[in-house]
């Protein structure tokens, strides 16, 4: 079989998610005023990422409507860019989204935005410790008419990977981080708007869906240097190491 060669030019979807575990936990109903102040300031500083707020005693979520071509109705997609979970805040920065959204930013800018948002968020929440930080990449590579089922049939020598739910799953730990890699073939579909008003799903080829999760292995209060070390480790795996590993699966 002709080997599948994946590269950054094949990306159809790329979202970076930065997650933080906090102690003590943030109780939304007790911090409503401070959280609302954070939202107002964040929206003022970064209106390219924060827009609509949904909040209650148990929910705090900010979303943004991303538009590829300003002024054209329907060419947009809402993304939850900041969500406060029971464990802590999660910041999602779209680097690339499926059409019609398109390009929204760069990776280095996303990491810098995480630093800025983290600083603002914790500046008003008192003495809380950051116990874990993680960076998740959600990636979708397009492979056209080539199905990539053969990626699941190859053997691996990295950390005893095994098939789980039709996907290949690898979980390993190095000296400082946990690394979880999940990938598998997918069929890509597109929604089309018919003139009569109905929407239909049509096949748009095949692809490889990848989720790469890197976080600190030791749970303890983290200093700024510890957080930067996790971000550096996550960055070292993308794109060279990850692409090398995926491409080796298609040639073995």
Say if residue 110's pLDDT is above 70: yes
Task: For 215-248, write each residue's pLDDT tens digit.
Answer: 999 999 999 999 999 999 999 999 999 999 888 8
pLDDT band at 106 (very low <50, low <70, confident <90, very high): confident
Per the prediction, the chain carries an average pLDDT of 85
Residue at token pair 């930080």: 133
Task: For 17-42, write each residue's pLDDT tens digit.
Answer: 999 999 999 999 999 999 999 999 99
Say if residue 118's pLDDT is above 60: yes
User: Residue 169: which of 210, 122, 124, 112 has the closest Cα?
Assistant: 210
pLDDT band at 160 (very low <50, low <70, confident <90, very high): low
Q: How many CB atoms lie within 10 A of CB 153?
A: 10
> How is the chain split into domains, by residue range?
1-16+135-252, 25-127
């Amino acid at each position: 079989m002709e080997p599948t060669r994946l590269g950054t030019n094949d990306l159809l979807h790329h979202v970076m998610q930065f997650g933080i575990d906090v102690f003590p936990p943030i109780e939304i109903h007790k911090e409503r005023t401070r959280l609302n102040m954070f939202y107002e300031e964040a929206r003022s500083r970064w209106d390219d990422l924060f827009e609509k707020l949904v909040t209650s005693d148990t929910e705090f979520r900010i979303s943004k409507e991303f538009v590829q071509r300003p002024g054209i109705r329907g060419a947009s997609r809402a993304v939850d860019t900041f969500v406060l979970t029971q464990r802590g805040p999660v910041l999602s920065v779209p680097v690339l989204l499926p059409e019609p959204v398109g390009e929204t930013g760069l990776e280095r800018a996303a990491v810098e935005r995480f630093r800025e948002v983290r600083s603002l968020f914790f500046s008003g929440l008192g003495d809380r410790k950051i116990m874990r930080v993680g960076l998740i990449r959600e990636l979708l590579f397009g492979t056209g008419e080539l199905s990539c089922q053969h990626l699941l049939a190859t053997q691996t020598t990295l950390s005893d990977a095994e098939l789980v739910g039709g996907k290949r799953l690898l979980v390993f730990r190095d000296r400082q981080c946990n690394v979880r890699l999940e990938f598998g073939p997918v069929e890509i579909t597109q929604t089309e708007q018919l003139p009569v008003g109905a929407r239909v799903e049509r096949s748009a080829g095949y692809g490889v869906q990848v989720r790469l999760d890197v976080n600190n292995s030791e749970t303890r209060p983290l200093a700024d240097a510890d957080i930067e070390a996790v971000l550096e480790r996550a960055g070292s795996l993308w794109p060279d190491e990850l692409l090398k590993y995926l491409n080796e699966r298609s040639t073995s």
